[in-house]
Amino acid sequence: MISFVATPIGNLKDITLRALDALKEADAIFCEDTRHTLKLLNAYEIKKPLFACHKFNEREAAEKMIRMSREGKNIAVVSDAGMPVISDPGNAVCRLLREAGEAYTVLPGACAFLSALVLSALPADKFTFIGFLYGKKSEKLALLEKYKTLDTTLCFHSAPQDVDDDIALFYQAFGERRACAVREITKIHEESLPFLLSEGLPGEKRGEYVLLVEGAKQTENPLNSMSEREHILFYMQQGLDKKEALKKAAKDRGVSKSDLYKFTIDL
């Protein structure tokens, strides 16, 4: 069996009992950085063969996993911290395993951006995870433009050397919004710093950040202030037949067509 195993994002005690069992029972552990994973294994007195699985060798690693799994061996896949695949290597491995018909499972656990979302106090009922921004400035802005009108909290990862530039791009793309910078999650110096995009984030930047930006404010459709009958009639006066006018008014109001049908009987 191949298992994708979440590991601590800071505090080494943030590991599940299932994760420890999987690491102890594994015949091999595939990891992003063998030196980093070795620190975790040493903390729990676990000694296992380690194999590299990073963004430059995922196909090779997947093929090796498949061979070992079909020999009846237990395989654990981890990243340096948190949930494999989420802004970490592993997605290509998942695809290759699926294509090969090889079963795998996931052992859930720590995840940096979800912890940061809670610490930010920004709306968490709807959120969009975007991760790191890559490419040239124009490419980053083009990506951000796609999320400009979303009314969900936007979640990004940012390296310390990129934080100021990323925030400046957020302001350029989104305008003024509330935001929060979270770092050192689960560690002694954990910080959750609210700020406005126009102001930026003061101070020296150390460690990897999760940057959270509030979603776009949804403006009320002025047609919704009309009565139901007036709303439907408005669209009919624009040249739509009654059926289409009813459909558009229902979409504007976020209700079903049947809720508005009674207002169209005498139109």
Residue-wise pLDDT tens digits, 10-58: 999 999 999 999 999 999 999 999 999 999 999 999 999 999 999 899 9
* Tens digit of each residue's pLDDT (9 = 90 or more) over 85-122: 998 889 999 999 999 999 999 999 999 999 999 999 99
- Residues 248 and 239 sit within 8 Å (Cβ to Cβ): no
Domains along the chain?
Answer: 2-110 (3.40.1010.10), 113-213 (3.30.950.10), 222-263 (no CATH)
65 SS3 class: helix
Beta-bridge partners for 3? 76, 105
DSSP result, 40-60: HHHHTT----EEE--TTSHHH
Interatomic CA distance for residues 28 and 202, integer angstroms? 44
Q: In this structure, are residues 99 and 133 in contact, taking their beta carbons and an 8 Å threshold?
A: no
Q: How many CB atoms lie within 10 A of CB 157?
A: 20
240 CB burial (10 A radius; 0-12, 13-18, 19+): middle
**Which pTM value belongs to this model?**
0.78
